[in-house]
Amino acid sequence: MTSEEARHLKRENIRSLTMCGHVGFENLPDQLVNRSIQQGFCFNILCVGETGIGKSTLIDTLFNTNFEDHESSHFYPHVRLKAQTYELQESNVRLKLTIVNTVGFGDQINKKESYQPIVDYIDAQFEAYLQEELKIKRSLFNYHDSRIHVCLYFISPTGHSLKTLDLLTMKSLDSKVNIIPVIAKADAISKTELQKFKIKLMSELVSNGVQIYQFPTDDETVAKINASMNGHLPFAVVGSMDEVKVGNKMVKARQYPWGIVQVENENHCDFVKLREMLICTNMEDLREQTHSRHYELYRRCKLEEMGFTDVGPESKPLRILQKLFSLQETYEAKRHEFYGELHRKEEEMKQMFVQRVKEKEAILKEAEREAKAKFDHLTRVHQEERMKLEEKRRLLEEEIISFSKKKATSEIYQNQTFMAMGSNLKKDKDRKNSNFM
């Protein structure tokens, strides 16, 4: 007997009794409402779309306030997610609203990894909640739940078809978050083109297996309107905080030379439908779907990776101690696997280090041989040059000695010549004197 069959059998054994008078637990819903109002609510919206498509303007219009979000540049090298949390209050209901904007989405030349940061962010919020759940001492009552409850996916009003990036992104997100596609700046195309564009988009989403959020029809109080609104998806919206005078009243609208597009006029766009479905009617269902469907899927996969299981080898339900024992075994196995992998990588790194040291030694030895050969060559050249200089010096010294000898000989010859010439002059003088006398 499976655990599901056992629970079903227990339900069948429960008896229904009639009370004889007033008890008071009929006030339990009122107690729950009062406690919820006192605690407040949280709601997290993820806005995915290209820069400048009107994400911030639509959020401002939806909540009828100015969130003062600065304009983003088109020149970011990577997609990054910017989360901002606000405290809102309507009557006596407090709402902690977190708006997560995708900055730089679709602006890169290579759009291959544009959606991965979004997937990583959603998983990170699931992981943070799971870690809080697994703590021994938990504080989920005061925990700020940052899990994304709805993704408003903004589609450009091209009038043709979905871009490849849009399909890839929605396909990656549909199992992690409730997706509501919206056609932004719907006043850019005509009503006929808009209706054809809606049909084309839904056809492409179905043919590519993209699961978007469907408004629930199991609650009789909202089944009719939700079923009707499911047929209007994706919503064609226009956002604006500017007020224009139409007749005797001021309305939110966008004014053009050819006319006025009223934001809250259902004949002009689907803004009112989106606001009613997102905030007024299905906000709690979006929160519940996030917890019971998307988070549970993430939690189950993570716990299975960690080694948790609900049944043993014989398909019998495991008690908590058995689960902990199973977890201990898994921990030990993974610990052994981790240390084995660590040892293997350490050996690889040692071998790589030895190999690199050998390569470096070979390079250094080769450089040393080249340096020695160059030194020997320069030494030989130096010796040859020195010997040439010594030879030139010897020859020069010999030339100097030869020149000195020639100089001395020349000086002796000149002296002899001068002496001979002097004696001859003296003889001539004596001869002349004797003749005169």
44 phi/psi in degrees, rounded to 5: -120, 125
At residue 321, the pLDDT reads 46
For residues 271 and 264, give the distance between their C-alpha atoms in angstroms, rounded to a whole number. 6
Q: What is the pLDDT of residues 222-245, one digit of tens each?
A: 888 888 898 888 888 988 888 888
Q: What is the pLDDT of residues 140-194, one digit of tens each?
A: 777 888 899 999 999 988 878 888 888 999 999 989 999 999 998 888 888 888 8
- Residue 96 corresponds to which tokens in the numbers above? 């902690």
**Mean of all residue pLDDT scores within the chain:** 84
What stretch of H or E contains 183?
Answer: strand 179-183
User: Does the predicted TM-score (pTM) go above 0.75?
Assistant: no
The residue written with tokens 């396909």 in the block is 171
Neighbours of 132 (CB within 10 A): 14
Q: Which residues of 60-94 are buried (b: 16+ CB within 10 A; e: fewer)?
A: bbbbeeeeebeebeeeeeebebeeeeeeeeeeeee
Confidence of residue 332 (pLDDT cuts 50, 70, 90): confident
For residue 379, count CB atoms less than 10 angstroms from its CB and return exposed for 0-12, middle for 13-18, buried for 19 or more.
Answer: exposed
At residue 388, the pLDDT reads 92
- 3-class state of residue 262 by DSSP: strand
Question: From its phi and psi, is residue 411 left (phi > 0), alpha (psi between -120 and 50) or beta?
Answer: alpha
- Provide the angle, in degrees to the nearest 10, between the axes of the packed helices 164-173 and 116-134: 10
Closest CA to 242 of 263, 259, 258, 257: 263
- 3-class state of residue 127 by DSSP: helix
Return the C-alpha torsion angle 173, 174, 177, 178, nearest 10: 140
At residue 153, the pLDDT reads 93
For residues 244 and 251, give the distance between their C-alpha atoms in angstroms, rounded to a whole number. 5
For residues 19 and 25, give the distance between their C-alpha atoms in angstroms, rounded to a whole number. 12
Q: What value does the mean pLDDT take over residues 261-288?
A: 88
